[in-house]
Amino acid sequence: MKIIDDITEFIFLENGPEPADIIFIPGGSYAEIAERAAELWTAGYSKLILPSGRYSVKRGYFPGPLSKTDKYNAKYTTEWEFLKGVLVRNGVDETAVLKEEQAENTYENAIYSKKVTDECNLNIRKAIICCKAFHARRCLMYYQLLYPETEILICPADTQGIGRENWYKSEKGIDRVLGELMRCGGQFGEIFKALL
């Protein structure tokens, strides 16, 4: 069905990796996104990685990893701490990992990441975002707002068994993807009005 193709193309963005000034990880409890960032770092695509996140404002605490709990089973108090742990466990040098652990939602991930890069006097001409595959469009929209002059590449990871090829084949996939579609409209409506 064409509507499935249209939604897929809008939500599931993906670029091939290119050398970049930084790799952003916009929060989360899924190891796959940090593992993807670690792959790109070890392949030499960037010297810096900035994971972002405290915990979801909805929960009010970090629930611990939601995937690969057998491998990543330390006690983590924030998303940043967890994502950093995954990065280091996958060969990333600790000195390459910047710190942002205030953000409680995706927009704040972008806002506070910009604050960190500004404080470090980093000129971000090109960036990679490693995020959940179905989170790609919203991440791109937020980071583009904060980094309007930056070329942003999306190098996502499938999580929860949800990818561009199968999202419409399960209730969970449909709920996640259409939820993202609604948030792209609902959340950005308020931001766009504020920019008037």
Does residue 79 form part of some domain? yes
CATH number, domain of 119, equals 3.40.50.620
Does residue 183 form part of some domain? no
Does residue 96 form part of some domain? yes
Does residue 56 form part of some domain? yes
- pLDDT above 80 (res 196): no
Burial class from Cβ neighbours inside 10 Å (0-12, 13-18, 19+) for residue 184 reads middle
* pLDDT computed for residue 194 by the predictor: 81
Does residue 52 form part of some domain? yes
Spatial separation of the C-alpha atoms in residues 118 and 26, rounded to whole Å: 17
Does residue 122 form part of some domain? yes
SS3 state of residue 129 = strand
Does residue 111 form part of some domain? yes
* pLDDT computed for residue 58 by the predictor: 86
> What DSSP string describes 148-178?
TTSEEEE--B-BTTB-TTTGGGSHHHHHHHH
Does residue 196 form part of some domain? no
Banded pLDDT at 111 (limits 50, 70, 90): very high
* pLDDT computed for residue 163 by the predictor: 96
Query: pTM of the full predicted structure?
Result: 0.96
The parent domain of residue 46 ranges over 14-163
User: Could you give the percent of the chain with pLDDT greater than 90?
Assistant: 90
Tell me the mean pLDDT in the region 29-48: 98
Spatial separation of the C-alpha atoms in residues 81 and 77, rounded to whole Å: 7
User: What type of residue sits at position 144?
Assistant: Q
Cβ atoms of residues 131 and 28 within 8 Å? yes
Structural domains counted in the chain: 1
